[in-house]
């Protein structure tokens, strides 16, 4: 696991999620800080302090510091993820809008564009925790469903419950409803084969797709939202809309974005 940390409140919240995922052994955590201020001693002290905190919680953790070149923090995070063959990247998110991310720069958005593994985005908020007892898995139907099922089962706690949600487009007819129910059922069965308790729901996007996912997660009491993503670049997300960006921006629980399909890598 690669944990990219900085001085933000979101990174402090992400630390709790990392500890929850990695406590108990079997997972190595690389605590990465990208120095974009030219202060190597300060950067090393920050990353080492986070590493020591994880080690005190029985997490196998080590420190790495990289120097950002031309402000390329996201590029350095992505390079580290590739070098370490990371199974998961964890990063704190300030929850900027697509427009805010485009104008001001969003490390989380840019990391999503570059890495080929799942990314866990954690906002600073009252419900940020390391628990994964209740998960909401939002499926669209065009993602790598088998991979998303494996990722969800891997991060769920033992005896966790998972609600699989698919939202119908406005004006969808009986055929689309039947296809949606098949999609949800296939996902539920896949999770159950992984030994996870799961049930499904087909709903309508009354509040918009992202808003409905966030609303359902809150009503369900989810500790984590899991979803696939086409990993749209910031401009494309702004022009065409990005459900995952909208969920990250609005959710007060961590959001796990599954790995993109292999054929999309050259299109990002």
Rounded to 5 degrees, φ, ψ at 20 are -65, -40
Residue 219 Ramachandran class (φ > 0 left, ψ -120 to 50 alpha, else beta): alpha
- In-domain check, residue 237: no
pLDDT value, residue 101: 39
Confidence of residue 51 (pLDDT cuts 50, 70, 90): very high
Q: Are residues 18 and 119 in the same domain?
A: yes
pLDDT in tens, 229-242: 765 555 444 433 47
Pick from 210, 233, 231, 232: nearest CA to 136: 210
pLDDT reading at 128 higher than 60: no
Q: Structurally, how many domains does the chain consist of?
A: 2
pLDDT reading at 247 higher than 70: yes
pLDDT in tens, 141-156: 888 899 999 999 999 9
Q: Are residues 107 and 146 in the same domain?
A: no
Q: Are residues 95 and 174 in the same domain?
A: no
Rounded to two decimals, what is the model's pTM?
Answer: 0.85
User: Which of 3-17, 35-49, 118-132 is predicted most confidently?
Assistant: 35-49
Give how far Cα 266 sits from Cα of 89, 110, 113, 117, Å: 20, 15, 11, 15
| Domain that includes residue 97, residue range | 2-123
Of the residues 88, 123, 158, which one is the last residue of a structural domain? 123
């Amino acid at each position: 696991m690669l944990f990219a940390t900085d001085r933000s409140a979101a990174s402090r919240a992400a630390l709790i999620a990392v500890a929850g995922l990695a406590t108990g052994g079997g997972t190595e955590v690389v605590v990465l800080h990208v120095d974009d201020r030219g202060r190597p001693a300060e950067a090393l002290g920050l990353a080492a302090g986070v590493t020591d905190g994880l080690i005190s919680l029985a997490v196998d953790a080590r420190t790495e510091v990289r120097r950002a070149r031309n402000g390329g923090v996201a590029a350095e995070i992505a390079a580290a993820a590739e070098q370490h063959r990371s199974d998961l990247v964890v990063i704190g998110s300030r929850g900027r809008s697509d427009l805010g991310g485009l104008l001001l720069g969003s490390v989380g958005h840019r990391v999503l564009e570059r890495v080929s593994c799942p990314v866990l985005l954690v906002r600073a908020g009252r419900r940020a925790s390391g628990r994964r007892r209740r998960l909401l898995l939002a499926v669209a139907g065009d993602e790598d469903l088998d991979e998303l099922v494996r990722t969800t089962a891997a991060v769920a706690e033992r005896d966790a419950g998972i609600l699989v949600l698919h939202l119908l487009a406005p004006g969808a007819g009986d055929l689309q409803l039947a296809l949606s129910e098949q999609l949800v059922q296939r996902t539920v069965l896949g999770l159950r084969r992984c030994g996870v308790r799961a049930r499904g729901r087909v709903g309508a996007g009354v509040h918009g797709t992202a808003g409905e996912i966030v609303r359902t997660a809150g009503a369900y009491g989810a500790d984590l939202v899991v979803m696939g993503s086409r990993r749209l670049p910031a401009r494309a997300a702004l022009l065409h809309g990005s459900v995952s960006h909208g969920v990250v921006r609005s959710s007060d629980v961590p959001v796990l974005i599954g790995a993109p399909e292999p054929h999309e890598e050259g299109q990002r």
